[in-house]
Amino acid sequence: MLEALRHGIDRARLFAGALRSTKVVQPVSPANLLAFAWAASRVPFGPHLSVMFYAQTHPDREAVVEYDGSGGCVRRMTWAELDAAINRLGNALVARGASGGRRIAVMLPNGSEYLIAQLALDRIGATAVQIGYHLKAGEIAYILSNAEPAATIVHADQLVAMTDARARAASAAGPMIVVGAAADPTARGGDVVAWERALAAASPGRPSRRGGLGGRGGVLVYTSGTTGRSKGALRTWTSTGYEPVADLMLQVGVRSDDRHLVVCPLYHSAAPGFILMMMALGATVILMNQFDAALALDIIERERVTCTLMVPTMIVRLANLPAATSAPSLRWVMSVAATLTTDAARRFMERFGPILWNFYGATETGLVTLAGPGDHLTRPGTIGRALRGNDIRLLDSAGRDVPDGQVGELYVRNSMLIAGYHKNPDAMQSALRDGLFSVGDLARRAGDGHYYLVSRKHDLVISGGVNIYPREIEDHLCTHPAILDAAVIGDPDPEWGESLHAYIVLREGHALSEQGVIEHCRAALADFKRPRKVTFVAELPRNPTGKLLVSALRARP
């Protein structure tokens, strides 16, 4: 009991410190507070309440700015305008039978419509089924069959693929709302309506409970599927804790006056998570339709952007831009989703200053560890120390803790764990051990508490009975001045079981031979870690969040 009390006091201090640090506490009139409290009591709990709060207390403050793919600003929305749009879409969905407790498919590119859709589903207590806009009809059909959504929100550019997928997935039905349609798409038959028409016909007032609100709002994110079929990770707002979020805010220095640039895809989990964090503080969110390094830097300067979340590929491209421009407004940049090499971190900070952070986590686990700008140079390759609220253990195959310095599978327990995998309890159970969860990453811990990823369990190469971790070799390969990117996998070998095969992307204007690559490894790595085969490619297969598609490499002839 005493320990529980001590933990409660520590958490209270953490959240109080986060409130002071972020400067989110500002004078609000009692009348506005009462109006918000009354309205909040009549809708489901969830992140949409932040929009409702700022629409009530700061209606004319800028909430969302949107840029298209050519770098043109296409929309600016205040908190009041955003709140009204959320209400309109919520009412349009409820009127079409897509009420609270249902699952709704969302297949949209980055844009204000995606943000409105996520928050509208949240407001009516529905679950958003996030579908990547780059997926093909067969992949979409798999998700639809698994999720069984009651309605669909899709961009006109993906309407053909979505219609094909719905025909393949017998369980997929219900109305479709189409964004970006040049004309009303009702000619396709069924309950299909253009986004603008649906919102114009709906009320800007908050959806009524009598209209079918209820249910636990949440999100169903289908994992990247880099090694096989993707799984639907279910996160509900009522079961998600925020202790790691508060710790990250304090360490990074997140503030309510930040202007946050969004360049990562919104159908993933990291970008929406950071958007919700920023919106909870009343910060401004700046959406970029698709990433281009030069345009991103221009928007950063034009909009006085203070922070952003990027995958390492984007960070490298920013660092490689001509040095004529700078970004003095940037206070922090967070790296996410894929390996951030020490060389990439060094070159970025030489250009933009010591503002680069990276966190380790997963769709299933949320925020787990955090590394700061100083760690990249003094502790190369670290993913940082555990964020508050995380219980991390490194276990061997028998479930025993491994000592510091040795490699084990990383298991974590925190308040951000998903509720489960949709219709796949066996997959959830197989990822759990004594209440701790693993996504299959192998890591080691140093004596000072810093963690280092070594590999993914499924990527481990066993050659001649020896365990080889590809990431160590990939990191060394990227230290060569001619190598831009590298991946190492195991090829079947009749004698050794597996032999190392390196795929190399060269920097523009550089040349390197297969023997040169092998010699570079010979100089610093043990002989059994040296690639036996080298293939030069124009680019590595990565998904939009920067993760290497190992299955695509293994499928190459």
Range with the poorest average pLDDT among 85-99, 359-373, 464-478:
464-478
Question: In this predicted structure, what is the pLDDT of residue 224?
Answer: 62
Q: Which domains does the chain have, with CATH numbers?
A: 460-554 (3.30.300.30)
For 13-25, the pLDDT digits (tens) are: 665 666 666 776 6
Share of the chain above pLDDT 90, in %: 55
104 confidence band (pLDDT: 50, 70, 90): very high
Question: In this predicted structure, what is the pLDDT of residue 506?
Answer: 94
187 confidence band (pLDDT: 50, 70, 90): very low
List of E strands, 55-156: 62-67, 73-78, 103-107, 127-130, 151-155
225 confidence band (pLDDT: 50, 70, 90): low
3-state secondary structure of 374: coil
Question: In this predicted structure, what is the pLDDT of residue 173?
Answer: 73
3-state secondary structure of 557: coil
Q: Which of 49-53, 82-86, 129-133 has the highest mean pLDDT?
A: 82-86
Question: From CA 239, how far away is CA 82, in angstroms rounded?
Answer: 26
Q: Are 403 and 447 in contact (CB under 8 A)?
A: no
Type of residue found at 512: L
H helices present in 155-261, as ranges:
159-168, 195-200, 243-252
Neighbours of 312 (CB within 10 A): 21
516 confidence band (pLDDT: 50, 70, 90): very high
β-strand pairing of 151-155 with 103-107: parallel
Adjacent-strand bridge partners of 536: 504
Question: From CA 167, how far away is CA 423, in angstroms rounded?
Answer: 21
Question: From CA 202, how far away is CA 208, in angstroms rounded?
Answer: 13
Range with the poorest average pLDDT among 38-52, 76-90, 498-512:
38-52
Range with the poorest average pLDDT among 283-292, 318-327, 369-378:
318-327
Two tokens at 454?
A: 């070594």
**Mean pLDDT value across residues 184-212:** 78
H helices present in 360-414, as ranges:
375-378
2 confidence band (pLDDT: 50, 70, 90): low
**Mean pLDDT value across residues 77-87:** 97
For 373-389, the pLDDT digits (tens) are: 999 889 988 999 999 99
Question: In this predicted structure, what is the pLDDT of residue 439?
Answer: 86
Question: How many Cα atoms occupy the beta-carbon half-sphere of 513 within 13 Å?
Answer: 3
Residue 139 has pLDDT above 80, yes or no: yes
Question: From CA 117, how far away is CA 123, in angstroms rounded?
Answer: 10
pTM of the model: 0.83
Q: Are 130 and 221 in contact (CB under 8 A)?
A: yes
**Mean pLDDT value across residues 177-191:** 70
For 252-291, the pLDDT digits (tens) are: 999 999 999 999 989 888 999 999 999 999 999 999 998 9
Question: From CA 446, how far away is CA 144, in angstroms rounded?
Answer: 44
Neighbours of 42 (CB within 10 A): 11
DSSP string for 238-299: GG---HHHHHHHHHHT--TT-EEEE-S-TTSSHHHHHHHHHHHHT-EEEEESS--HHHHHHH
423 confidence band (pLDDT: 50, 70, 90): very high
Residue 107 is given by DSSP the state: E
465 confidence band (pLDDT: 50, 70, 90): low
DSSP string for 315-333: HHHHHTS-TT---TT--EE
The burial class, CB within 10 Å (0-12 / 13-18 / 19+), for 486 is buried
Residue 435 has pLDDT above 60, yes or no: yes
**Mean pLDDT value across residues 515-533:** 87
Q: Are 124 and 155 in contact (CB under 8 A)?
A: no
3-state secondary structure of 220: strand
Question: From CA 84, how far away is CA 427, in angstroms rounded?
Answer: 40
Question: From CA 322, how far away is CA 306, in angstroms rounded?
Answer: 21
Question: In this predicted structure, what is the pLDDT of residue 79?
Answer: 97
Two tokens at 280?
A: 């909870």
Question: From CA 313, how far away is CA 296, in angstroms rounded?
Answer: 13
Question: In this predicted structure, what is the pLDDT of residue 50?
Answer: 93
Phi and psi based region of residue 442 (left: phi greater than 0; alpha: psi -120 to 50; beta: remaining)? beta
Phi, psi values for residue 357, rounded to 5°: -120, 160
Two tokens at 505?
A: 């992307």
Type of residue found at 223: T
Range with the poorest average pLDDT among 331-345, 346-360, 459-473:
459-473
Which residue from 460, 467, 484 is spatially nearest to 542, judged by alpha carbons? 484
- Give me the chain's average pLDDT, please: 87
β-strand pairing of 127-130 with 103-107: parallel
Q: Are 146 and 427 in contact (CB under 8 A)?
A: no
Q: Output the CA torsion sign for 508, 512, 518, 522.
A: negative
Question: In this predicted structure, what is the pLDDT of residue 231?
Answer: 87
